Amino acid sequence: MNTALLKTEIQEYIFTYAEDTSKLAFAGSPFPKVSTAELLQQIESRSAIEKKLPTWFAEKNIVYPPKLNLEQTSSEATARYKASLVTGKSLADLTGGFGIDTFYFAEVFDTVTHFEKNKTLSELAAHNLEVFSKKNIFCKAEDGLQGIKSNTFDVLYVDPSRRNERKGKVFFLNECEPNVPENLGYLLNSCTTLLVKTSPMLDISIGLQELKHVTEVHVVAVNNEVKELLWILKKETSESIHIQTVNLTSKGTQAFSFLPSGPIETVFSDPLRFLYEPNAAILKAGGFQYISEAFKLKKLHQHSHLFTSEALRDFPGRRFSIEKVVPYTKKEMRGITFAKANITTRNFPESVATLRKKWKIKDGGSKYLFFTTLENEDKIMLICAKV
């Protein structure tokens, strides 16, 4: 790490730089002890984490790695949630990276060991954690799998890299580094609880096949976008696996949990007074089949994943009042015009782009149009207002 980056005038330059970085790339660094490439890395990486890591963005003397190293980094919201799932006195983060998860684990554990085999990244993490006065974190520049030999911890946390040197970007756990399925026995013998973070692209059923001893799966979304899957494993096998979905928003947390079981009887209905759309975490988890029973709602179609009721209910997702049900026919649609509307399709043969072009509807406004299919296979458009 180039310590010249920490000089007051250079930090001020990084903090206040507001022009196009191509201008800096062309003109070159104004500081003899800091190269143009180093300055660009700090400015561009800091800019990239503004919304994801606001605490880091607001702090001076933070040193950033290349943007590529920040791609898989947890956001503050998801790191905070992770830290709420596990307890104990000691935790080892086997894939420490930039140190965001480590930071939040250190708020609930007595000691946290941050392993990172990339020596440069380990050095940056150690520096940054010291900026925040985290005294109970110990950074070690070594492979986490090797680092925990002859040691046991209350919790081991691993976030396998989804970039394989041979295959590029990967999504199956046995292709990630480290290979958790291959080392599962070793990991479970070194801890009481193993917490694994995976890509939101991983199919949950495939993850359950690759990972044995799973007791809980957490599907974590931020502002209705699924960001990560969290797997809690223990040595003892569990008869049932608890699925927890959370959608973290500025207005609070939407949570819904269920125990996967056999077929659930779903009641179907034509649209009633209110419409409900489950959040992205529930859809990812396959929890839509448990919605009817949990919230006393009726479903429009087996594959539509839209629900309805006569009375308004609390719900982990978006809620709408239905203003009009329009059969999707040329005759019925010709008489309805919208300059602007928000369009969603569920179990419908035409895409949002096709519908916008076909009916000349621009994006935006206060109206919400749902194009979907009823249980009798009739195609409809629902004109709704957000509750």
Distances from the Cα of 139 to the Cα of 144, 149, 189, 253, angstroms: 11, 16, 22, 32
For residue 112, being part of any structural domain is answered with yes
- Looking at the structure, tell me whether residues 57 and 80 fall in a common domain: no
- Looking at the structure, tell me whether residues 83 and 169 fall in a common domain: yes
User: Which pLDDT value is given to residue 33?
Assistant: 92
Instruction: For residues 202 and 225, give the distance between their C-alpha atoms in angstroms, rounded to a whole number.
Output: 15
- Looking at the structure, tell me whether residues 134 and 246 fall in a common domain: yes
* Best CA proximity match to 195, nearest among 280, 262, 108, 270: 108
109 is written with which tokens? 């554990």
76 is written with which tokens? 């503050």
User: Which pLDDT value is given to residue 172?
Assistant: 79
| Domain interval for residue 355 | 274-386
- Looking at the structure, tell me whether residues 229 and 302 fall in a common domain: no
* Best CA proximity match to 254, nearest among 218, 206, 221, 209: 221
Helices (DSSP H) in 17-107: which residue ranges?
21-27, 36-48, 54-58, 76-83, 100-105
- Domain boundary among the residues 48, 70, 92 is at 70
Distances from the Cα of 328 to the Cα of 309, 338, 352, 359, 377, angstroms: 22, 15, 14, 12, 11
**279 and 317 in contact (C-beta within 8 Å)?**
yes
CATH number at residue 8: 1.10.10
- Looking at the structure, tell me whether residues 58 and 89 fall in a common domain: no
User: Which pLDDT value is given to residue 338?
Assistant: 86
For residue 269, being part of any structural domain is answered with no
User: Which pLDDT value is given to residue 166?
Assistant: 61
pLDDT digits (tens, 9 = 90+) for 131-178: 999 999 999 999 999 999 989 999 999 999 876 656 556 667 888 889
Read off the pTM.
0.90
For residue 120, being part of any structural domain is answered with yes
Instruction: For residues 127 and 125, give the distance between their C-alpha atoms in angstroms, rounded to a whole number.
Output: 5
- Looking at the structure, tell me whether residues 251 and 278 fall in a common domain: no
- Domain boundary among the residues 234, 258, 282 is at 258
Peptide bond into 32 cis (omega under 30): no
**349 and 340 in contact (C-beta within 8 Å)?**
no
For residue 266, being part of any structural domain is answered with no
Determine the 3-state secondary structure of 220 from DSSP.
Answer: strand
User: Which pLDDT value is given to residue 72?
Assistant: 79
| Under-70 pLDDT residues of the chain | 163-171, 262-263
Q: How many domains does the chain have?
A: 3
For residue 264, being part of any structural domain is answered with no
- Looking at the structure, tell me whether residues 240 and 130 fall in a common domain: yes
- Domain boundary among the residues 50, 70, 90 is at 70
- Looking at the structure, tell me whether residues 330 and 234 fall in a common domain: no
For residue 263, being part of any structural domain is answered with no
DSSP 8-state class, residue 300: S
Instruction: For residues 283 and 34, give the distance between their C-alpha atoms in angstroms, rounded to a whole number.
Output: 48
Residue type for 28, please? G
